[in-house]
C-alpha cells in the first residue's frame, strides 16, 4: 500500500463508522518494511521523549493513552517498547484487573476516574473502563440492559475529560487467531514466560468470536472526535510499535507543548559559585 497518508489517517476509526474486523488485515504494514521501521521508530521515540519533556514542564495539558486488545495482543510489549521513551515520573501506568470489593461498591467508572492523568502527565491504561463492555458482556456478568447503556456513559465520561484538558487517544491492537496461538505456545514453551501463561487463557480463546463482536461494538460506538480509536494491525510487533509511536507523537504534537518562561527575569551572565 502506498504511504501517501499518515498512519494516523489510515488507522483511525472515524466517528459513526460500523467496524468489521474481518476486513482488517492484522499483518498489514501499510507500506512499511521492518528494516526501515527500526530507524523510524528510533526517531519516533526520540520525538516522544522531547514532547513529553515539554508537556511535563508546561503542565497545561494531560494525555490519556488507552490500550485494548484480546489476550496476547501485545499491550505489555507496546508499553515496554514505546512508552519506555517517557520519563516514568510523568507517565503513570495503570493495569485494571478484577475489581476489588471497594471498587465494586462504587459505580464502574469510579476507579477509572481516580487514575486519569494530571496536567503534564501522560497516563497509560493497560486495559481500561472498556472491560465493562467487553469481559462483562462476553461473560454475561451483568444484564444487557445494563452494559448496553455504558457506551453512551463512557462517551460522556471521556467528553468531560476532554473538555477539562485531557487529550485521549485509544489503541486497539488487532491480532489474528493464528498469531495468538503462536504467542500462547511461545509462553508455554519458554520457562521464563510461564508466569504469563494461564489455562484460563485457553478458555477465553474459545470465545474469540464473542470478543470480536464485543470489540467491534466498542470501536463502532465509542470512537469520537474527542476520543478516537485507532485499529493497529499487531501481528507484526515492529509495525505495532511504529504505528503507536507515530500516532501518539502526532497527537501530542498537536498540543504544541512549549517550555514555560521563567517565573522571574534571569540576570544576564550569571555565574553560580
Mean model confidence pLDDT for the chain: 96
Q: Give me the sign of the Cα torsion angle 134, 136, 140, 142.
A: negative
Residue 59 Ramachandran class (φ > 0 left, ψ -120 to 50 alpha, else beta)? left
Q: Which three cell numbers stand for residue 165?
A: 484538558
Residue 17 Ramachandran class (φ > 0 left, ψ -120 to 50 alpha, else beta)? beta
Residue 4 has pLDDT above 80, yes or no: no
Residue-range domains of the chain with CATH: 7-253 (3.40.50.300)
pTM above 0.85, yes or no: yes
Residue 100 has pLDDT above 90, yes or no: yes
240-254 average pLDDT score: 98
146-159 average pLDDT score: 98
Q: Which residues contact 251 (CB under 8 A, 6 or more apart)?
A: 8, 63, 167, 169
Cα separation of 118 and 123, whole Å? 8
Q: Which residue blocks in the chain are alpha helix, DSSP H? A: 7-11, 34-58, 75-81, 101-104, 110-113, 135-138, 144-147, 150-163, 177-189, 199-205, 208-222, 237-253
Q: Give me the sign of the Cα torsion angle 171, 60, 9, 221.
A: positive
Cα separation of 201 and 176, whole Å? 15
Residue 99 has pLDDT above 50, yes or no: yes
Amino acid at each position: 500500500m502506498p504511504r501517501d497518508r499518515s498512519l494516523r489517517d489510515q488507522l483511525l476509526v472515524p466517528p459513526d463508522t460500523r467496524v468489521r474486523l474481518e476486513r482488517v488485515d492484522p499483518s498489514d504494514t501499510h507500506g512499511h518494511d521492518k528494516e526501515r521501521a527500526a530507524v523510524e521508530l528510533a526517531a519516533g521515540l526520540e520525538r516522544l521523549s522531547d514532547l513529553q519533556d515539554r508537556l511535563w514542564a508546561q503542565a497545561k495539558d494531560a494525555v490519556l493513552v488507552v490500550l485494548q486488545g484480546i489476550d496476547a495482543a501485545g499491550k505489555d510489549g507496546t508499553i515496554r517498547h514505546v512508552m519506555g521513551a517517557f520519563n516514568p515520573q510523568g507517565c503513570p501506568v495503570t493495569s485494571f484487573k478484577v475489581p476489588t470489593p471497594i471498587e465494586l461498591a462504587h459505580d464502574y467508572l469510579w476507579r477509572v476516574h481516580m487514575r486519569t492523568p494530571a496536567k503534564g502527565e501522560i497516563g497509560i491504561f493497560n486495559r481500561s473502563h472498556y472491560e465493562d463492555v467487553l469481559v462483562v458482556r462476553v461473560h454475561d456478568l451483568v444484564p444487557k440492559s445494563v452494559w448496553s447503556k455504558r457506551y453512551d456513559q463512557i462517551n460522556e465520561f471521556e467528553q468531560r475529560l476532554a473538555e477539562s484538558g485531557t487529550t485521549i487517544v485509544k489503541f486497539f491492537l488487532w491480532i489474528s487467531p493464528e498469531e495468538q496461538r503462536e504467542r500462547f505456545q511461545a509462553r508455554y514453551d519458554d520457562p521464563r514466560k510461564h508466569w504469563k501463561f494461564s489455562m484460563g487463557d485457553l478458555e477465553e480463546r474459545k470465545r474469540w468470536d464473542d470478543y470480536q463482536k464485543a470489540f467491534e461494538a466498542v470501536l463502532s460506538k465509542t470512537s469520537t472526535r474527542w476520543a478516537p480509536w485507532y485499529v493497529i494491525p499487531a501481528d507484526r510487533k515492529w509495525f505495532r510499535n511504529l504505528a503507536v509511536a507515530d500516532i501518539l507523537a502526532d497527537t501530542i504534537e498537536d498540543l504544541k507543548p512549549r517550555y514555560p518562561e521563567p517565573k522571574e527575569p534571569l540576570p544576564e551572565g550569571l555565574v553560580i559559585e
